[in-house]
Structure 1
Amino acid sequence: MSWKNTQQNSFADSLVIEHKSLSELDDVHNIINWGEIEQTLSNLYTSKTGASAYPPIMMFKILILQAWYALSDEALEKQIARDLMFRRFIDLSLSEAVPDHSTIWRFRQLLNTENLLEHY
């Protein structure tokens, strides 16, 4: 399965003015070993066909935000769409579409099926 390229900054990203409120989650982001988690999640999608999926590490970060901020799937989708700090934490460019609530739900179900949600 191919992943959506969410790492490339867009023109819109370059127009965002830096503000300390946007970096509130940076310290937390920097102390977590994302590489280890990414390696664990790398085998979740085995299909070679279909539309490009959101990177598993991004979806995992979304679930972390959901737990920290006690948001429903629908509320989380809306929050990611309008909150620059959330987008920064999950590495989602302003020009990229936000995962919808059903995508978030399906990813959580996949982690449950693979017994990975309890692992972290």
Structure 2
Amino acid sequence: MLRLEPKQLSLHSILYSKIPENHILKIISTVVDFSFINKLLENSYCKQFGRPAKEPELMCKLLFLQHLYNLSDEKVIEEAGLNLAYMYFIGINPEDDLPDKSLLSKFRTQRLVEGSLDEM
């Protein structure tokens, strides 16, 4: 479920220097530590069966962007594949694949349902 490789260590990640230091997403990335999300949702995933899940932190960051910029599931995935500031914020390299737009809805309804976080 959780990726172990370091984030943003590709040759193309030098492009992130083009994002101004005062960009809201760079500031949020510096101030807010989203790493607690992986631990919080760890028990909602089966570790022995199925294909590896997308990292919960990445999914929550996509939902955060979606809410911040008032985007649809489809639009947030499209923008995250084009916008360097979005890529920097969610912690991917420019050449990395993004989850399918349908996964955002499934994540929202299956992992973030009320009560599932209470039992953790």
In the superposition, the TM-score normalised over structure 2's length comes to 0.78
Relative to structure 1, the CA distance from residue 36 to residue 98 in structure 2 (aligned partners, 3 Å threshold; closer, same or farther) is closer
- Deviation of 1:53 (Å): 1.9
Contact 1:23 1:85 in 2 (8 A): no
- Deviation of 1:86 (Å): 0.4
How many angstroms apart in 2 are the aligned matches of 1:94 and 1:105?
A: 23
Deviations 1:39-67 (A, max 9, x none): 21222212422222221111111110000
Corresponding residue for residue 59 of structure 1: 59
Corresponding residue for residue 44 of structure 1: 44
> Is 74-83 or 24-33 further displaced after alignment?
24-33
How many angstroms apart in 2 are the aligned matches of 1:53 and 1:107?
A: 10
The one-letter amino acid of 1:19's match is K
How many angstroms apart in 2 are the aligned matches of 1:37 and 1:23?
A: 25
Aligned residue pairs: how many? 115
How many angstroms apart in 1 are the aligned matches of 2:18 and 2:48?
A: 40
The one-letter amino acid of 1:69's match is Y
- Deviation of 1:6 (Å): 6.7
> Is 50-59 or 18-27 further displaced after alignment?
18-27
Corresponding residue for residue 18 of structure 2: 19
How many angstroms apart in 1 are the aligned matches of 2:10 and 2:101?
A: 24
- Long gaps (5+) in structure 1: none
- Long gaps (5+) in structure 2: none
- Deviation of 1:75 (Å): 0.6
In the superposition, the TM-score normalised over structure 1's length comes to 0.78
| RMSD over aligned Cα atoms | 2.4
Corresponding residue for residue 106 of structure 2: 106
Percent identity at matched positions?
26
Corresponding residue for residue 29 of structure 1: 29
**Secondary structure of 2:95 counterpart:** coil
Contact 1:6 1:92 in 2 (8 A): no
> Is 60-69 or 4-13 further displaced after alignment?
4-13
Corresponding residue for residue 71 of structure 2: 71
How many angstroms apart in 2 are the aligned matches of 1:48 and 1:20?
A: 40
**Secondary structure of 1:89 counterpart:** helix
